[in-house]
Amino acid sequence: MNKNELLDLFKEIGVLKTGHFRLTSGLHSEYYLQCATIFENPRIAEKIIAQLQPILPPDVTTVVAPAIGGITMGYEVARLLGARSIFAERQDGVMTLRRGFSLSPDEKVLVAEDVVTTGGSVKEVLEIVRFHGCEIVGVTSVVDRSNGKVDFGVPFYPLIKMEVQTFTQEECPLCAQNIPITKPGSR
C-alpha cells in the first residue's frame, strides 16, 4: 500500500479529519488524525499495521506504548512481531508503568505510538524504558506529523510521514477567522 492509498483509506474510514483543531500538544491545526478509528475494525488495523513489518527491527521482545492513543497501536504491533505488549499511563501527571507492568534489563523494547506530533509522550515512555535499563531498538508510529522536528535519539520507524502545519494560538489563521475550534485529543 503506497502513501496515497493509505491516505485514501484514512479518509474513507474517518482517520483524517479537516477543520480547526487544538491538538494534545496545545498547537492548532487544520487537520486532525484520529488513528483510534483504525483500530475499530481489527481487519483494517491488521492490514495497516502489517505494512510496518518490513521496516521494523526483527528482535523486539516488548512493545511499550503511551496511554491512551498508543495502547491499541502497541498491542497490534506486538501481535505482529510476536512480542509482549504493555503501556505506560499518567499518574498525577507523570507517565509511569502501572497495573503490574514491569520491565527488565534483558528486554529489547520498541516504543509504539499512533501519531507523533511533538513526541512528548514517546519521550516520557523512553525515559521509563531507559530507567529500567532496557535496550531501546526504536520507536514506531502509524503517522509522523512532526515535520521532521522530532528526534528520539533512537531509530524512528513511522509508517507514513505527513507534513501538516501547526500553529500557536497567537499565530493561527483559523483563530483569526473566528472558526470554532475542536479539542479531540486525549488530554
Q: Band of the pLDDT at 185, cuts 50, 70, 90?
A: low
Q: For the residues 76-89, what does the mean pLDDT come to?
A: 96
- Please state, in angstroms and rounded to a whole number, the distance separating the CA atoms of residues 169 and 116: 20
Residue at 67 is within a domain: yes
Residue at 134 is within a domain: yes
Residue at 181 is within a domain: no
- Domains in the chain: how many in total? 1
Q: Cell 531507559, residue?
A: 130
Cell of 83: 512480542
Q: In this structure, what is the dihedral angle of CA atoms 31, 23, 146, 67, given to the nearest 10 degrees?
A: -120
Residue at 47 is within a domain: yes
Residue at 26 is within a domain: yes
* CB proximity list for 10: less than 8 A, separation 6 or greater: 16, 33
Q: What is the residue type of 157?
A: Y
Residue at 149 is within a domain: yes
Q: Band of the pLDDT at 93, cuts 50, 70, 90?
A: confident
186 pLDDT above the threshold of 70: no
β partners of residue 136:
109
Q: Provide the pLDDT for residue 33.
A: 83
Q: What is the residue type of 6?
A: L
Predicted structure pTM score: 0.86
Q: For the residues 151-171, what does the mean pLDDT come to?
A: 92
Domain containing residue 89: CATH number: 3.40.50.2020
Residue at 182 is within a domain: no
Mean model confidence pLDDT for the chain = 92
Q: Provide the pLDDT for residue 165.
A: 84
Cell of 186: 486525549
- Please state, in angstroms and rounded to a whole number, the distance separating the CA atoms of residues 96 and 125: 8
Q: For the residues 17-43, what does the mean pLDDT come to?
A: 88
Residue at 187 is within a domain: no
Cell of 152: 528520539
- Please state, in angstroms and rounded to a whole number, the distance separating the CA atoms of residues 50 and 32: 23
Q: Report helix, strand or coil for 149.
A: coil
Q: For the residues 29-41, what does the mean pLDDT come to?
A: 89
Q: Report helix, strand or coil for 38.
A: helix
Q: Provide the pLDDT for residue 64.
A: 97
Cis peptide before 68 (omega within 30 of 0): yes
Q: Band of the pLDDT at 184, cuts 50, 70, 90?
A: confident
Q: Provide the pLDDT for residue 90.
A: 92
157 pLDDT above the threshold of 70: yes
**Which domain range does residue 134 map to?**
3-176
